[in-house]
């Protein structure tokens, strides 16, 4: 006994033990048994270990057999049985290790297989989690549905497919999910086809982008989808272009005189001397430009109370311009900038009304999306 006490003290000081998930449930008595088993695994004739093991195992076993669900009465339903199952799980590890070492199995009498108790405790834990979930499902509010989902998830985790828990998990998750309806954009008294769009991509784009953000317990739908599936909105997103102006193309022209001194010849002297003179050119510059703008007003609000989660305007601008040039006179008088404009004559592509409107809409939308991601809380 003295040797056993000394071994317990040394194990406590060293803090040894397994690194598995049940490690935190190991008692000092358990660690003693594991240590003795490790010694016998290395040396089956370890006399001291063989002498100490039976008493050490019995001490650990007696301590565990005193445990019942009442030992964890302060824990929430389900947790008490799950904790009990884990305590029995430690004894299961001891049972398996003793069985795996012939020398240990020979000296340990009354070896206990706790598998039946583990099954019983696990079933009781799943049952209590399941019943707690059912109780929360009787309340018609989102927070209770979230609690129900958590309890059903716990039951399913320890006993996958327990009763009809997977069906109930899906139902609870649906109840707990905040439904956000995104209404079709209003293009300032003009239909989207007025701007040459093939379809109203904006509504679907914001739904896709926000659903991909993995908001917790939030799902986004179009108004059409919500109506067809009879989904009741919790939050609503409205998109309204208070301004969508595609400007006309304006043209400015200017003429620039160029001159430069260049060598025009040489004297007949010996040696010849260079003769310089001015050469001239005229550069005719044509500037074409178009300025367009848009303003997207967005309101996101709670359907039940009308409280705004967001109400703001998001501007967009599109400034298009192109400069070209021609010239007359001596090309030697031209600058590198002149040549750049002259060579730009083949790049005159005026954007269509649809292209400009599309750029404006995307510019406004990107600002809105950034604001939503950074500051709008759709939950409670």
Distance CA 28, CA 98 (A): 18
pLDDT under 50 in the chain at which residues?
1-19
Distance CA 288, CA 324 (A): 9
* Number of Cβ atoms within 10 Å of the Cβ of 1: 7
Report pLDDT for 19. Answer: 47
Residue 223 CA from chain centroid, whole number: 25
Report pLDDT for 380. Answer: 62
Question: What are the pLDDT digits (tens) for 276-308?
Answer: 899 999 999 999 999 999 999 999 999 989 999
Share of residues in the chain with pLDDT > 90 (%) = 69
Nearest to 8 by CA among 321, 157, 17, 214: 17
Beta bridge partners of 256: 283
Alpha helices in 15-78 (DSSP H): 28-42, 47-65
Distance CA 297, CA 185 (A): 10
Q: Collect contacts of 306-314 with beta carbons under 8 A, ≥24 apart.
A: 309/235, 309/376, 309/377, 309/378, 310/371, 310/372, 310/375, 310/376, 312/371, 313/242, 314/364, 314/365, 314/367, 314/368, 314/371
| 28-42 and 2-14 helices, crossing angle to 10° | 100
Report pLDDT for 192. Answer: 75
Report pLDDT for 38. Answer: 92
Question: What are the pLDDT digits (tens) for 303-322?
Answer: 989 999 999 999 999 999 99
Distance CA 186, CA 297 (A): 10
Radius of gyration of the chain (CA): 41
Distance CA 292, CA 297 (A): 17
């Amino acid at each position: 006994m003295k040797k056993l006490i000394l071994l317990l003290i040394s194990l406590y000081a060293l803090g040894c033990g397994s690194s598995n998930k049940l490690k935190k449930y190991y008692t000092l008595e358990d660690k003693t048994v594991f240590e003795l088993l490790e010694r016998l695994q290395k040396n089956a004739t370890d006399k001291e270990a063989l002498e100490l093991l039976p008493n050490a195992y019995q001490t650990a076993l007696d301590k565990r057999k005193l445990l019942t669900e009442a030992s964890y009465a302060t824990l929430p339903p389900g947790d008490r049985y799950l904790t009990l199952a884990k305590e029995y799980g430690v004894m299961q590890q001891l049972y398996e290790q003793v069985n795996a070492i012939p020398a240990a199995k020979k000296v340990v009498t009354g070896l206990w297989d706790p598998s039946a108790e583990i099954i019983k405790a696990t079933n009781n834990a799943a049952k209590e989690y399941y019943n707690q979930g059912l109780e929360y499902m009787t309340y018609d509010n989102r927070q209770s549905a979230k609690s129900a989902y958590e309890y059903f998830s716990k039951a399913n985790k320890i006993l996958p497919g327990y009763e009809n828990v997977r069906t109930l998990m899906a139902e609870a998750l649906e109840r707990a999910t905040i439904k956000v309806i995104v209404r079709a954009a209003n293009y300032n008294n003009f239909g989207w086809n007025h701007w040459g769009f093939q379809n109203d991509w904006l509504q679907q784009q914001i739904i896709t982008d926000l659903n991909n953000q993995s908001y917790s317990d939030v799902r986004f739908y179009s108004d059409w989808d919500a109506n067809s599936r009879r989904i009741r909105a919790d939050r609503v997103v409205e998109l309204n272009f208070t301004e969508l102006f595609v400007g006309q193309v304006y043209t400015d022209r200017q003429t620039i005189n160029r001159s430069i001194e260049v060598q025009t010849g040489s004297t007949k002297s010996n040696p010849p001397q260079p003769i310089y003179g001015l050469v001239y050119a005229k550069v005719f510059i044509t500037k074409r430009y178009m300025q367009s703008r848009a303003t997207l007003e967005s309101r996101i609000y709670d359907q039940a109370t009308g409280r705004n989660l967001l109400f703001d305007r998001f501007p967009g601008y599109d400034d298009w311009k192109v400069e070209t040039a021609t010239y007359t006179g001596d090309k030697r008088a031209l600058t590198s900038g002149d040549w750049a404009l002259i060579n730009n004559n083949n790049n005159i592509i005026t954007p269509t009304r649809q292209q400009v409107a599309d750029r404006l809409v995307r510019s406004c939308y990107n600002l809105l999306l950034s604001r939503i991601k950074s500051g709008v809380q759709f939950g409670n």
